[in-house]
Chain A
Amino acid sequence: MELHINGKLYTVNCDASEMLVWVLRDDLGLTGTKMGCGAGICGSCTIHINGTPVRSCITPASAAAGLEITTIEGLATILPDGTEKLHPLQQAFIDEQVPQCGWCMSGQIMTAASFLKGNPQPTADDIDAALANNYCRCGCYVRIRTAVERAAEALQEAT
């Protein structure tokens, strides 16, 4: 099957039932997408399919064939001079020094990126609700909240 990931075309030879998270990670080496539970609960594996956040651990790869898949590796922009311009959320997570172990962070950022597109001026409660199904075992939640607020402001200023 053909998968469009981060603007590139990949051809994958696997069963249609293979979960997308393992195709990304094991077949394609895109290990930025993490796996925490395999049951769609913890959110570590969150990616975008056509801009919508999806749990890749319970999404068969075949369901994403032909659609636009974005993973954490594709969130930043590579400028013409080759430098990497981070997404405002990635920058905010650095500025607020959010991650500890970091395993959940791809999922947190991908979930928040989609959320901020639909709700560019969120309240604190909006943020809490949007990220209510993303676990962080290290307990970086206070900083996640602040970083998402910060990224929302940065996105507002940019527009």
Chain B
Amino acid sequence: MLIVSLFRLSSKNINRAITNHHFFQDPTMSEPIQNNVNEEPDFGKRPKAKSSRRTFLISAGVGVLVVGIGGKLGWEYLRKNVTAIAEKRAPSAKVPDEPFAWFTVNADNTIVFHVPKIEMGQGIHTSLAQIAADELDADWNTFHVVQADTAQGFDGGTQNTFGSVSVAALYAPIREASATVRETLRQAAARRLNTTAENIVAKNSVMALRTDATKRLTYGELVAGQQGKWTLAKNAPLKAAKDFTMIGKSIPRVDIRDKVTGRAIYGLDARLPNMLYGAVARAPRYGAKLKSAQAGEVATMKGVVKVVIENGFAGVVAERRSIARAAAALIQCEWEGGVTQSQDAFDALTHVPDDKNNAVAIQEHGSVGEHRAERDVIAQYKTSIAVHAHLEPQAALADVRIKGKIVEGITIFASTQTPSMVCSMVAEALGVDKEKIIVKPTYSGGGFGRRMGFDVGVEAALLSRAVGKPVHVGWTREEEMRYGFYRPPTHHVLRGNVGSDGKIATFEHEIASGDVLLSFASFAGGAVAGAVADAFGVDPGALVGALSEYDVPHLRVLSHRVKLPFLTASWRGLGLMPNVFARESFIDELAHSAKKDPMQFRLEHLPDTELGRRYRAALEQVKKMSAWNTPPEVGRARGVAFCLQAHTVAAQVAEVSVTDGRLKVHRVWAAVDPGMAVNPNGAIAQMQGAIVMGLSSIFHEKISFKNGIAEAKNFDDYPLLTLPQVPDITVELMTSSDVPHGMGEVGIGPIAAAVGNALFALTGKRMRELPFALEALA
């Protein structure tokens, strides 16, 4: 029999969290001036909840990296046979043995749901809470969603938020945990009411006698009435879909009121009493190491508290943020090494080589070599280096508490996608045991892959340790543009031909991409990890979206790894946008070479598989939505593209015009099959947002290096798409399953090809670079 202490009754912190309706564990402010994330740092007061090693299969490691393109597979499998990956499902996580990691039930019948995943705009707090509240039969009005910190008991990687896998991976575990709590409470109610569990009905956080609803106990009363050990219900049944009250409904998001009133707290907003501000000296070249530094006059500047120079790091703690920044820039630093090249060098590196010896075939059947033909269509596509441009700069508030010279504990408030990575990196940088560190994730002002671990939490912790007070570090936009990491540049060579039967005979796609996921190992993991990464030879992140969906007899997709001297890594969708842009534009080229309607051409090349049927359904749906067979008004044209990512199928049609050489995207229609949507309106928002982000890459986004540093310093050099350029977007969701798939990224896949294909239909000009060479339209 499994016995655990199931419920922890309300603590002061939780009550405060409830007062604030949701979110922070130790939140803030009814009066703005008291905007402290944590009036009394609670490190050490709260026992660290331990969950069993079996808690989750999803944890940091190789398996996770592969989730991005579809399955829990080893590297060797990936290298040898990626063809089937797209059809595999994401690994399912297991329910924790201790559901109290998820819930706190209070005597007043409020329930706190400790949500492990980070809210960075994707609506995950709401979606996961819907799942929990539904299966728990909880009263939504008294159900509070609170961001879990790293002491809550979720194992390492569970909190890391990436790859559109949050809902898919946690759907079953949360339902199982919730059902277990519900049935445990039902059994307790049966004992208290002298009946059996079958006679108890659960609804709105109340257990009532089926035959006499006046005989009832709230969940809070049940918990308050039984302190100490609880025996968990075994094999708690899950609800049937027909009984869902929350799952599948467009429940309003739990975070939005705070986000329109200015109350929501992000990393850059985190405050503690007596806090100071930090800034770090930056190199003139990317990746240059600090050789030596002299504080000089900076140490005596008014408002400077301390200049911190240690182990290749130079920074300033000051009373004001502006003083810290000005002072950090004045530290006399000598730098060595780092990047010296300019953009032409990186363009030359990012190139599909003639030599195929180091290429890895990630998808291959038939024999493309034997079926090349005179009539082959050959085309090259390219995508640029880009930044994430999340609008909240990297930010962390570190509170390192020291007694004598010993670090007693560290609390870090940060907008991060990877709290456990922050924990590990701070532990390593400060030489402190991880057990002494609590990371409290805040809301994130966008993430898009840039808030993976890294830098700012470590910077704040080093500075805080030096002064023994809380120190806040918030990056400037220039730091964001120049000292973070980048979306890798890619180059694609595609070759294929269509036979006399109108069917594609051969299709080849060679991809050269900078690293996406291996880079973390190469740059952050030191020489050994770098060597291991080299041995893999293929970066699974760069290959998201690389597999061809089409039924073609002779097909090959080759990957070439491009090693760049600056850090390229995760960006929304990873390889999805470049790979789908290249393939779906090239399929359009093949369709035109065969004088076929591009929509019909796609429909004629879909495999007769379950996936193939989902592709067909999505394409037929978007065909209908866009009235594809009815020509658009004069001066406009439409293009279509589709893709698969995180098991979700997205098909899009774009309608464009060109006036005075200027591209205008008027409409985008999207048909999306995410299996099923937990929150349909939230899923639609993700599709709309991903389309807009993709359009921004079409119109604008490009980073270039000069003498080892990005040329762009701010948005004047790197503009984003704004409202006047945004089309009407119509999204329809389709249901094909009883489980949800990913929604955060898939929409960014097809849009560039859909718009490019429309432009070709209109003008005969083919866009083969991201951003588009729009000057060619003039």
Question: Contact string, B672-708, partner A, CB cutoff 8 A, digits 1/0?
Answer: 0000000001100100111111001000000000000
Instruction: Report how far A94 CA is from B681 CA in the complex, Å.
Output: 13
Binds A, one of B50-58, B431-439, B495-503, B716-724: B716-724
Residues of A within 8 A of B1 (CB): none
CB pair B320–A101 under 8 Å, yes or no, is no
* Residue A4 CB within 8 A of the other chain: no
* Residue B89 CB within 8 A of the other chain: no
* Residue A35 CB within 8 A of the other chain: yes
CB pair B390–A131 under 8 Å, yes or no, is no
CB pair B692–A139 under 8 Å, yes or no, is yes
Instruction: Report how far A139 CA is from B721 CA in the complex, Å.
Output: 9
Interface size on B, residues (CB 8 A): 65
CB pair A138–B446 under 8 Å, yes or no, is yes
Residues of B within 8 A of A15 (CB): 322
CB pair A38–B256 under 8 Å, yes or no, is no
Residues of B within 8 A of A93 (CB): 256, 260
CB pair B256–A34 under 8 Å, yes or no, is no
Q: Which residues A1-53 have CB closer than 8 A to chain B?
A: 14-15, 18-19, 22, 25-26, 28-39, 41-42, 44
CB pair B322–A22 under 8 Å, yes or no, is yes
Chain A proximity of B733: nearest CB distance (Å): 15
Chain A proximity of B585: nearest CB distance (Å): 22
Residues of A within 8 A of B393 (CB): 35-36
Residues of A within 8 A of B448 (CB): 137
Binds A, one of B202-210, B263-271, B519-527: B263-271
CB pair A137–B260 under 8 Å, yes or no, is no
Given contacts A29-B29, A31-B262, A86-B260, A139 and B322 within 8 Å (CB-CB): no
CB pair A34–B321 under 8 Å, yes or no, is no
Binds A, one of B117-125, B341-349, B769-777: B117-125
Given contacts A29-B34, A103-B392, A139-B690, A39 and B268 within 8 Å (CB-CB): no
Question: Contact string, A93-114, partner B, CB cutoff 8 A, digits 1/0?
Answer: 1100111111111100100000
Instruction: Report how far A19 CA is from B326 CA in the complex, Å.
Output: 14
Chain A proximity of B22: nearest CB distance (Å): 14
Question: Contact string, B12-34, partner A, CB cutoff 8 A, digits 1/0?
Answer: 00000000000000000100111
* Residue A54 CB within 8 A of the other chain: no
Instruction: Report how far A151 CA is from B634 CA in the complex, Å.
Output: 34
Residues of B within 8 A of A44 (CB): 391
Q: How large is the interface on A (under 10, 10 to 19, 20 to 34, 35 or more residues)?
A: 35 or more
Given contacts A31-B271, A137-B389, A71 and B714 within 8 Å (CB-CB): no
Instruction: Report how far A36 CA is from B269 CA in the complex, Å.
Output: 12
Instruction: Report how far A73 CA is from B259 CA in the complex, Å.
Output: 11
* Residue A79 CB within 8 A of the other chain: no
Using CB atoms, name the residue of chain B closest to A87: B260
Residues of A within 8 A of B424 (CB): none
Instruction: Report how far A36 CA is from B722 CA in the complex, Å.
Output: 15
CB pair B277–A100 under 8 Å, yes or no, is no
Residues of A within 8 A of B123 (CB): 100
* Residue A150 CB within 8 A of the other chain: no
Instruction: Report how far A36 CA is from B720 CA in the complex, Å.
Output: 13
Residues of A within 8 A of B255 (CB): 99, 102
* Residue B261 CB within 8 A of the other chain: yes
CB pair A103–B690 under 8 Å, yes or no, is no
Question: Which of B34, B260, B321, B693 is A94 in contact with, Cβ under 8 Å?
Answer: B260
Instruction: Report how far A22 CA is from B255 CA in the complex, Å.
Output: 25
CB pair B321–A31 under 8 Å, yes or no, is no
Given contacts A29-B34, A102-B121, A128-B723, A94 and B691 within 8 Å (CB-CB): no
Using CB atoms, name the residue of chain B closest to A18: B322
CB pair A109–B260 under 8 Å, yes or no, is yes
* Residue B729 CB within 8 A of the other chain: yes
Question: Which of A30, A39, A86, A99 is B259 in contact with, Cβ under 8 Å?
Answer: A99
CB pair A132–B722 under 8 Å, yes or no, is yes
Instruction: Report how far A26 CA is from B692 CA in the complex, Å.
Output: 33
Chain B proximity of A38: nearest CB distance (Å): 6
Given contacts A25-B269, A31-B269, A102 and B259 within 8 Å (CB-CB): yes
Instruction: Report how far A78 CA is from B390 CA in the complex, Å.
Output: 33
CB pair A132–B724 under 8 Å, yes or no, is yes
Chain B proximity of A95: nearest CB distance (Å): 9
CB pair A29–B262 under 8 Å, yes or no, is no
Chain B proximity of A56: nearest CB distance (Å): 13
Residues of A within 8 A of B265 (CB): 31
* Residue B728 CB within 8 A of the other chain: yes
Chain A proximity of B712: nearest CB distance (Å): 12
* Residue B252 CB within 8 A of the other chain: yes
Residues of A within 8 A of B559 (CB): none
CB pair A101–B35 under 8 Å, yes or no, is no
CB pair B121–A72 under 8 Å, yes or no, is no
CB pair B263–A32 under 8 Å, yes or no, is yes
CB pair B260–A101 under 8 Å, yes or no, is no
* Residue B257 CB within 8 A of the other chain: yes
Instruction: Report how far A63 CA is from B121 CA in the complex, Å.
Output: 34
* Residue A142 CB within 8 A of the other chain: yes
- Of the listed residues B123, B256, B266, the one surrounded by the most CB atoms of chain A closer than 10 A to its CB is B256
CB pair B390–A137 under 8 Å, yes or no, is yes
Using CB atoms, name the residue of chain A closest to B269: A31
CB pair B477–A39 under 8 Å, yes or no, is yes
Using CB atoms, name the residue of chain A closest to B253: A97
Chain B proximity of A44: nearest CB distance (Å): 6
Using CB atoms, name the residue of chain B closest to A36: B391
Given contacts A99-B260, A132-B722, A143 and B391 within 8 Å (CB-CB): no
Question: Contact string, B156-185, partner A, CB cutoff 8 A, digits 1/0?
Answer: 000000000000000000000000000000
CB pair A142–B322 under 8 Å, yes or no, is no
**Known contacts A72-B261, A128-B724, then 11 further A-B pairs from the complex at CB < 8 Å, ordered by chain A residue:** A31-B32, A31-B268, A32-B263, A38-B477, A73-B262, A97-B685, A102-B258, A104-B391, A129-B724, A136-B391, A137-B720
Q: Closest 6 CB pairs between A and B?
A: A32-B262, A139-B692, A103-B445, A101-B121, A102-B259, A100-B121
17 contacts between A and B (CB under 8 A): A26-B320, A32-B32, A35-B268, A35-B474, A37-B714, A41-B716, A71-B262, A72-B262, A86-B260, A98-B260, A99-B253, A101-B445, A102-B255, A102-B258, A131-B722, A135-B722, A137-B446
